[in-house]
Amino acid sequence: MTTGIQDTKHLLAGQDVGDYVAACTTPPGQAVTGLIARAGELGDEAGMMATAAQATLLTMLARLVPARLAVDIGTFTGLSALALAEGVGAGGRVVTCDVSDRWLPLAREHWEKAGVADRIDFRLGAAGRTLAGFEPGSVDLVFVDADKMSYPRYHALAVPLLRPGGLLVADNVLLDGWVVDPSRADTPAQRRCAETLRAFNAALAADERLDAVMLPLADGLTIARKR
Ligand SMILES: C[S@@+](CC[C@H](N)C(=O)[O-])C[C@H]1O[C@@H](n2cnc3c(N)ncnc32)[C@H](O)[C@@H]1O
């Protein structure tokens, strides 16, 4: 959404700035850095993982809300679930879901090492089914980091579940910058993803139930607070 107010600050992009941002962010604890190192050995697939700075931010957001129940959409190797579990603290709960349990043993190993495995409830299956299992207003934080084409659906399903003051946090909202001009995407599938995320970003910014801020952190992260 454009407000007509010009933003006069420049966005500094590039790997050197990204590295500097990471260097000036409190590193996550040993459990998270250990998982990042192990999952980093997976090769190309490791690129799906959240970054260390995002993990620090997720833990901080869960503490600030404060969240007792967080829902993590897209488990992969369990990094976001681990960061959220550290944030919800003892007695808190993270429900995390994925259509694959291929990386679950790796995730569990690190959840256990961190002493938070008993706070994390993994559900195998599509996120829509997991989201449908919560009462309206019962969830403190939803982190969306799964199939990009479903982001509009996750928006529709997640907002009613959040209590006032709860957060909807969405990753990859810049999609390599292609959201600015989806026609620049390399493939038709990526173009459709970029168009979908562009529509999702606009819908979040225009959603009167939310206050949303998009941060150019990693591949773009939006934090939206329910009014
Ligand atoms: C980007 S990765 C998640 C990264 C993870 N949040 C982290 O912090 O490292 C996306 C994950 O979403 C999962 N996924 C894809 N479609 C899904 C769906 N419909 N429901 C739930 N998970 C899905 C994929 O299997 C993949 O593991």
Mutate to test the pocket of ligand 1, among 99, 174, 175 (most ligand atoms within 8 A of CB): 99
| Alpha-carbon gap, residue 150 to 126, rounded angstroms | 10
With a 6 A CB cut-off, is 126 part of the ligand 1 pocket? yes
User: Would you state the pLDDT for residue 193?
Assistant: 97
Contacts of residue 224, defined as CB under 8 A and 6 or more positions apart, other chains included, come to 167, 168, 169, 170, 204, 207, 210, 211, 212, 213
What pLDDT does 75 receive?
98
Contact 106, 81 (CB under 8 A): no
For atom 9 of ligand 1, the residue with the nearest CA is 49
The class level of CATH for 15-226 reads alpha beta
Q: Is 98 helix (H, G, I), strand (E, B) or coil?
A: strand
100 Cβ closer than 6 Å to some ligand 1 atom: yes
Number of H helices, E strands in the chain: 8, 7
Intervals of the chain under pLDDT 70: 1-8, 10, 12
C-alpha 81 to ligand 1 mean position (Å): 11
CA dist., res. 218 & res. 175, Å (int): 10
CA of 76 to the centre of ligand 1 (A): 5
Every domain of the chain and the residues it spans = 15-226
In the reported structure, the alpha carbon of residue 198 is separated from the centroid of ligand 1 by a whole-number distance in angstroms of 19
Per-residue pLDDT tens over the stretch 96-152: 999 999 999 999 999 999 999 999 999 999 999 999 999 999 999 999 999 999 999
154: Cβ below 6 Å to ligand 1? no
Q: What percent of the chain clears pLDDT 90, i.e. is strictly above it?
A: 86
Question: Closest Cα to residue 55, out of 24, 86, 76?
Answer: 86
pTM: 0.96
| Cα–ligand 1 centroid distance for 7 (angstroms) | 33
C-alpha span between 161 and 155 (Å, rounded): 10
* The residue to which tokens 């019962």 are assigned: 138
The structure tokens listed for 104 are 């679950």
Beta-bridge mates of residue 213: 223
3-state secondary structure of 153: helix
Q: What per-residue confidence (pLDDT) applies to 65?
A: 98
Going from the C-alpha of 110 to that of each of 8, 44, 163, 189, the distances in angstroms are 43, 20, 30, 34
Q: Which tokens is 81 given? A: 């679930």
**What is the pLDDT at residue 3?**
57
Dist. CA 208–CA 59, nearest whole Å = 26
